[in-house]
Structure 1
Amino acid sequence: MAISPAVLVTVFGLLGDIISFFVCLAPIPTFVRIYKRKSSEGYQSIPYVIALFSAMLWIYYALVRKHAVLLITINTFCCVIQIFYISFYLFYAPKKEKTLTVKFVLFVDVFAFGLIFLLTYFLTHGIKRVQVLGYICMVFALCVFVAPLGIIRKVIKTKSAEFMPFGLSFFLTLSAVMWFFYGLLLKDMNVALPNVLGFIFGVLQMILYMIYKKPGTKVLEPSGIKLQDISEHVVDVVRLSSMVCSSQMRALVPQDSADMEATIDIDEKIKGDFVKIKDDK
C-alpha cells in the first residue's frame, strides 16, 4: 500500500520537529560547563543570536505561507530556548563580550528583523510576499549553518574540539536530513535547499570532532621533582631563616652574658641540626 505524499510530509515534519527539539537542547552541556567555570570565555554567542533571528523569520514565513503549523511550533520553542541561552551567556560573559553580544542582538534580532517585517508587510502582498520571505529565510537559514564556521576554524587552529559539542553537530545533521525531505515533499525549495548545506557542515563538524577529540588528561607531577625533596628544602629554608633572624636580633638587642651563652647554645644546636640534615641527604 503506497503512502500518500501528505502523510510523508507530516511524518518528516514531525521527525524534523522532534530532532530539532534535541538540536535546541544540545548546547546544554556547554552552558553547564559555563556555569561550573563561572565564565563564558572561550565560547561564542553569535550562533545563538543568528539562530534566534532565523527562528523568528521562519515563524513569520509560516504564518504568511499558511498550512505550516509544524514550522511554527518548533521555531516558537527555538525562540524561547535561544533567548534563555543568550541571557545565560550574558550573565557569565566578560564585559567586552557582553557588550558585543548586546549590540549584535539589537542589530540583528531587533533592527534587522523589524526592517524585514515592515518592508515585506507594506511593500509586498499575497504570493509575492511569500516568495520574498522564502528567499530571505533561505539566506539566513544558510547563515545558521555557516555560523559554526568560526568554531570549525578555532578547532582546526587549536587542534582541540573542546568548544564544539558533538551532540549539537549530530542532531544538526539529522535535522537537516528531515527538513530537506519535508521541504522536498512539500515542494518548498526555501525549506529544502538550505538543509543540503546544513547536512554538509554537520558531517564536517563530526569528522573534525573525531579527529581533534582529546581524552581527559591528568596533571602529572614532574619526574625530576619529588614531593619529599620539596619538603626537605622547605625545612632547610625555615631553619636557615631562623638562624638569620636570631643573628639579626642579637645585633639589634643588647644581651647580658647569660643570654649570650644561651643564644650561642641555641645557634650551635640549630647549626648541628642543619649539618645533620645535609649529611642525611
Structure 2
Amino acid sequence: MAGPSFIIGIIGNVISILVFASLIKTFTRVVKKKSTENFKGSPYITTLLCTSLWTFYGILNPDGLLITTVNGAGALLQLSYVILYLMYAPKEKKIKSMKLAALLNIGFLGSVIAVTLLALHGNLRLTFVGILCACLTIGMYASPLAVMRIVIKTESVKYMPFLLSFFLFLNASIWGTYSLLVKDLYIGVPQVIGFVLGTAQLILYAMYKNKSPSEESDEDLQKEEERSAHLVKEVIEMKGRKEDGDDQITSKNRALRKGSSLPKPPVIRQSSIGKVLRTLSMGPYEQQHWVWFQDEENDHNRDLEGGKKSGSQI
C-alpha cells in the first residue's frame, strides 16, 4: 500500500505539470502568429535549467522517483517551449537566446553533471546538486517580490492573476509537505519560502482586489490631449500675427494667459509604471508571471486598437 508521502508526491506531480503546461496556450498563439511578439526567451531557458537539474537530483536520489518524473516532464515541456521560441523569434533575439541556452543548458548543466559524476562520490554528489537546485528554486520563488511591489504601488491586482498565484501557492504547500514526510532539506527549504511568499500574494490579492483605482478612460485622455494641442496651436497663431501698437501687446498678453492656463500633461497611467517596474525587476520566476502580464497587455492593446478603428469609422 502506498504511503502518505507517495500520495502527496503524486498530487504534487499533477499540480506541477499543470503549472508547466499552462504555457501551451501561449505557444499555440506563437505558432499561429509565427511570432514571439514581446516575449523574452530567458525565462524558458532558465526554467529548463532548473527542471533539468532537479531531474538529475532525482536520478541521484534513491527515493527520488517522483522528483524525477515531475521535473523530467517539466524539462521536456520547457525544451519544447525553447525550441518553438527559437523558431519564431526575430533574428537578434534568436541569436541572444541561442547563446544563453548554450551557456546554461549545455555548458553549465554539462559541467555540473561532469563534476558530480567524475569528481564527487557518495552522499557528496547529492549534497552538491541539492544545494544548486535549492538556490535556483529560492531565486524562482523570490521573484514575486517584484510583482508584490507593483500591487502595493498601484493598488491593483491586474498583473497578479489569482489562479496562477493560488496554484503556485498550492504547489509549494504540497511539495513542502512532501519534503517533511521524506525529510529532504533541499526540497523543503525552497518550498517553505514559496509557501510564505504565496501566502503573502493571496493576502495582497484579498486586500486590493476591490481597491483597484479607476483609470481615466482612453477617450477622456485623447480629448484632453486634443484640447491641449488646440490651445497650443492658438498660442502659436496669436504669436505669429503682425499687429501694431496696442493690438500687438494685447495679443502677446492673451497668448501668455492662454499658455499659463494650458492643462497639465496627462498623468502617466499606472499600466506604464507597472511596465517599467516589471522590466527592471525580471527574475527567473517570470517564466509564469511575465507571460500572464504580456497576455493581459497584448489583449488590452488589441482591444484599444479595435476601439480606435471602430471609432474612426463612425
TM-score range, shorter chain: 0.5 to 0.7
Deviation at 1:33, TM superposition (A): 5.1
Question: Is contact 1:161–1:214 with CA below 8 Å preserved after alignment?
Answer: no
Q: Which runs of 5+ in 2 are unaligned?
A: 224-314
- 1:111-157 per-residue CA deviation (whole Å, 9 max, x = no partner) reads 11111111111111111211112111111222332455666677788
Q: Distance in 2 between matches of 1:37 and 1:164?
A: 26
Q: AA paired with 1:21?
A: I
Q: Distance in 2 between matches of 1:186 and 1:220?
A: 58
Quote the residue 1:255 is aligned against: none
Quote the residue 1:8 is aligned against: 4
Q: Where does 1:138-149 land on structure 2 (aligned, <5 Å)?
A: 138-147=134-143
CA-based RMSD: 3.7
Deviation at 1:43, TM superposition (A): 2.8
Question: Is contact 1:49–1:86 with CA below 8 Å preserved after alignment?
Answer: yes
Q: AA paired with 1:104?
A: L
Q: Where does 1:1-281 land on structure 2 (aligned, <5 Å)?
A: 7-32=3-28, 34=30, 39-147=35-143, 166-204=162-200, 211=208
CA 1:114–1:93: 2 relative to 1, 3 Å: same
CA 1:31–1:70: 2 relative to 1, 3 Å: same
Q: Distance in 2 between matches of 1:187 and 1:175?
A: 18
CA 1:94–1:108: 2 relative to 1, 3 Å: same
Q: Distance in 1 between matches of 2:74 and 2:53?
A: 12
Matched residue SS, 1:106: helix
Percent of residue pairs identical: 33
Q: AA paired with 2:172?
A: A
Deviation at 1:197, TM superposition (A): 2.0
CA 1:189–1:222: 2 relative to 1, 3 Å: closer
CA 1:97–1:8: 2 relative to 1, 3 Å: same
- 1:66-97 per-residue CA deviation (whole Å, 9 max, x = no partner) reads 12211111111101111122222233333333
Matched residue SS, 1:122: helix
Question: Is contact 1:47–1:148 with CA below 8 Å preserved after alignment?
Answer: no
Deviation at 1:202, TM superposition (A): 3.5
Q: Which runs of 5+ in 1 are unaligned?
A: 225-281
Q: AA paired with 1:43?
A: F
Question: Is contact 1:34–1:40 with CA below 8 Å preserved after alignment?
Answer: yes
Aligned residues: 221
Question: Is contact 2:155–2:213 with CA below 8 Å preserved after alignment?
Answer: no
Q: Distance in 2 between matches of 1:153 and 1:82?
A: 28
CA 1:115–1:149: 2 relative to 1, 3 Å: farther
- 1:39-84 per-residue CA deviation (whole Å, 9 max, x = no partner) reads 4343333332222111111111111111221111111110111112
Q: Distance in 1 between matches of 2:28 and 2:199?
A: 25
Larger mean CA deviation between 166-175 and 101-110 belongs to 166-175
CA 1:27–1:109: 2 relative to 1, 3 Å: same
TM-score by length of 1: 0.64
Q: Distance in 1 between matches of 2:93 and 2:19?
A: 24
Q: Distance in 2 between matches of 1:43 and 1:111?
A: 24
CA 1:16–1:116: 2 relative to 1, 3 Å: same
Q: AA paired with 1:131?
A: T
